[in-house]
Chain A
Amino acid sequence: MALLEVEDLEVRLRTARGMAAAVRGASFALERGESLGLVGESGSGKSMTALALLGLLPEGAELSGSIRFEGRELVGLAESELCKLRGDRIGIVFQEPMTALNPLHAVGRQVAEPLRLHRGLSNSAAREAAIALLDRVGLPDAARRSHAYPHQLSGGQRQRVVIAMALACGPDLLIADEPTTALDVTLQRQILDRLAELSEESGMALLLISHDLGVIAENTRRMLVMYGGSIVESGPTAAVLKRLAHPYSQGLLGARPRLGAGRGNRLATIPGSAPELAEIPAGCPFVERCRLAIDACRAAPPPPEAVGPGHVARCIRLDAAGARP
């Protein structure tokens, strides 16, 4: 049994023009100890997927489909039961370390909080455990810094605190939603490496969400590409990156800035911009921006097509895209 099985996940949000789907029929699974990357632009529905897994969707959002964690259905589960899972079996690291911490509490106390809550540790025991955790995530001088307040730490240090907090109870699944986007490149690598090591050490599964293909390439074994609320491509990371099949994935790679590219090489971009939720077309979500679009693309959502072993793309123009050998 997979650790996490998501089937036909659908998230609908309240917008100015009524309800609109932010996630449309996403299905994927994650094994124990596995690392899965989820890549897409902002607004592609990847963060909403993460929030749905935790049952923390914004007020008024509607959720349907199925999320099974260790075989247990989370959709429709009582709030009190979800509270027991959150921070204990499922941890999450959010994007913005500057605002993710309570400015009025010392960081040690914030890291200790899940331990007191889920493990019933005493204050002193939780504090000691928090210092050990801060040390593990690579915060130098953890014992002294545990008394510091968030404003006294740098962005990188704060993100380490947030990670320590998410890891406190030794979760089975860690969701990292753009964990390093707000940090500079050197720090990015350090923190991601530490995350990967930690998940290997403890057999924790990792769902890494990023808009950056490079981050996904280096840190995950399998990956999903999301666009307009749908998963348009999925497969083993190495295989997918070797032969990006979906025209959107191909565009995503072209849009990456590369070091050492000649001065004359302009950054390729995907024409147009990501659609508003309410305006996502009925057929292939990417049809309006796709250079290969034909009338049939608008008719119905494309079915999954195998590209290689375990490598699937939802596109009816795979041949034109040069995805088949």
Chain B
Amino acid sequence: MSDLALSFRRRALGHASFAVGGALTLLLLLSAALSLAWTPWPVYELDIPHKLQLPSAAHWFGTDSLGRDVLSELLAGARTSILVGVIAVGIGVVLGTALGLIAAARRGWLEELVMRFSDFAFAFPAILSAIMLSALLGPGIVNSIVAIGIFNVPVFARLTRAQAKAVWAREFVLAARAAGKGGFRITLEHVLPNILSVIVVQATIQFATAILAEAALSYLGLGTQPPQPSWGRMLNEAQLQLLQAPRLAIFPGLAIALSVLGLNLLGDGLRDLLDPRLARKR
């Protein structure tokens, strides 16, 4: 009975996280969508005479060292963050979930292999590896997507395997096996639908991690290349003007932090709402 009270409280908190996280995530999506149709100023246009301007009616967030409109750059930067996040997490979800499902269905040496690989990749710092890969393959947005994506694979492989194994042990799977259904059909019809919500929650949180990783890579100059807008690179450029225009370092960082915060809250809220029995591990 006190468990029920607990889950109720958790659901209420879940609603709050979900609402705040959802609003911030929506803001991120709308910014990106808006930037496709309209930005206050052209994103790529340099305007040296009007460089380093303070926020004004014409430039709400001011201009940077090359006279570009900061607000326009921020809006367009959301586009880059989402692009990298969606594709990198997509790579992780597709490959990782497939590996995890296979490991859970086939067991034996195959499962062992997938898990050893995941453990190894997991113990290795993802950013270090992403930096190395980006450096090896050359800087650029495509390579940083690949690098971030690769290190999402073990995250989803581990999660999927653990969840799928739990489903495989349930009665209705036993019944399906008794009815003569094969591993592939059981995986598609029973296992996958039952673990989907967990994967969606994790994908939301990995999305946040991918945004952070893209920003870090771009800050180091290994990610998105100019003139393509990126919050991480805006911070890199802002650091050169730290004394003259500290505000330039504030806005992109805020954009990153709010996006990451929003996605994490959304993920936590979703987890609590989708399955109140799921223990919070963080």
- A–B: direct contact at CB < 8 Å: yes
Residues of A whose CB lies within 8 Å of any CB of B are: 13-16, 20, 58, 60, 276-277
Contacting A at CB under 8 A, from B4-37, are 4-5, 8
B59 to chain A, nearest CB (A): 55
Bound state CA distance, A16 and B8, in angstroms? Answer: 8
Bound state CA distance, A41 and B2, in angstroms? Answer: 19
| Known A14-B2, A15-B2, A16-B8; further 14 A-B contacts with Cβ < 8 A | A13-B1, A13-B2, A14-B5, A15-B1, A15-B4, A15-B5, A16-B1, A16-B4, A16-B5, A20-B1, A58-B2, A60-B2, A276-B1, A277-B1
A302 to chain B, nearest CB (A): 26
Bound state CA distance, A60 and B4, in angstroms? Answer: 14
Name the B residues within 8 Å of A16 (CB-CB). Answer: 1, 4-5, 8
Name the A residues within 8 Å of B2 (CB-CB). Answer: 13-15, 58, 60
B9 to chain A, nearest CB (A): 10
A241 to chain B, nearest CB (A): 32
- When C-beta atoms are compared, the residue in chain A nearest to B1 turns out to be A15
Q: Which of A15, A20, A58, A276 has the most CB of B within 10 A?
A: A15
Q: Mark B139-175, 1 if CB is under 8 A from A, else 0.
A: 0000000000000000000000000000000000000
Name the A residues within 8 Å of B5 (CB-CB). Answer: 14-16
Q: What is the interface size of chain B, counting residues whose CB is below 8 A from a CB of the partner?
A: 5
Name the B residues within 8 Å of A276 (CB-CB). Answer: 1
A-B contact count (CB 8 A): 17
Residues of B whose CB lies within 8 Å of any CB of A are: 1-2, 4-5, 8
A263 to chain B, nearest CB (A): 32
A38 to chain B, nearest CB (A): 21
A300 to chain B, nearest CB (A): 26
B213 to chain A, nearest CB (A): 38
Name the A residues within 8 Å of B8 (CB-CB). Answer: 16
Bound state CA distance, A277 and B5, in angstroms? Answer: 14
Name the B residues within 8 Å of A20 (CB-CB). Answer: 1
- When C-beta atoms are compared, the residue in chain A nearest to B6 turns out to be A16
Name the A residues within 8 Å of B4 (CB-CB). Answer: 15-16
Bound state CA distance, A13 and B1, in angstroms? Answer: 9
A17 to chain B, nearest CB (A): 8
Bound state CA distance, A144 and B4, in angstroms? Answer: 45
B12 to chain A, nearest CB (A): 12
Bound state CA distance, A277 and B2, in angstroms? Answer: 12
- When C-beta atoms are compared, the residue in chain B nearest to A16 turns out to be B4
A233 to chain B, nearest CB (A): 26
Name the A residues within 8 Å of B1 (CB-CB). Answer: 13, 15-16, 20, 276-277
Bound state CA distance, A15 and B8, in angstroms? Answer: 10
Bound state CA distance, A13 and B5, in angstroms? Answer: 11
Bound state CA distance, A58 and B5, in angstroms? Answer: 13
Closest 3 CB pairs of A and B: A16-B4, A15-B1, A16-B5
Bound state CA distance, A14 and B8, in angstroms? Answer: 12
Bound state CA distance, A324 and B4, in angstroms? Answer: 44
Bound state CA distance, A60 and B5, in angstroms? Answer: 11
A136 to chain B, nearest CB (A): 37
- When C-beta atoms are compared, the residue in chain B nearest to A276 turns out to be B1
9 contacts between A and B (CB under 8 A): A13-B1, A13-B2, A15-B2, A15-B5, A16-B4, A20-B1, A60-B2, A276-B1, A277-B1
Bound state CA distance, A14 and B6, in angstroms? Answer: 10
- When C-beta atoms are compared, the residue in chain B nearest to A20 turns out to be B1
Name the B residues within 8 Å of A14 (CB-CB). Answer: 2, 5
Bound state CA distance, A13 and B4, in angstroms? Answer: 12
- When C-beta atoms are compared, the residue in chain B nearest to A43 turns out to be B1
- When C-beta atoms are compared, the residue in chain A nearest to B4 turns out to be A16
- When C-beta atoms are compared, the residue in chain B nearest to A61 turns out to be B2
Bound state CA distance, A211 and B277, in angstroms? Answer: 30
Q: Which of A15, A16, A276, A277 has the most CB of B within 10 A?
A: A16
Bound state CA distance, A13 and B2, in angstroms? Answer: 8
Bound state CA distance, A69 and B156, in angstroms? Answer: 58
Bound state CA distance, A20 and B8, in angstroms? Answer: 17
A277 to chain B, nearest CB (A): 7
Bound state CA distance, A14 and B3, in angstroms? Answer: 10
Name the B residues within 8 Å of A277 (CB-CB). Answer: 1
Name the B residues within 8 Å of A58 (CB-CB). Answer: 2
Bound state CA distance, A15 and B1, in angstroms? Answer: 5
Bound state CA distance, A16 and B5, in angstroms? Answer: 4
B10 to chain A, nearest CB (A): 12
- When C-beta atoms are compared, the residue in chain B nearest to A14 turns out to be B5
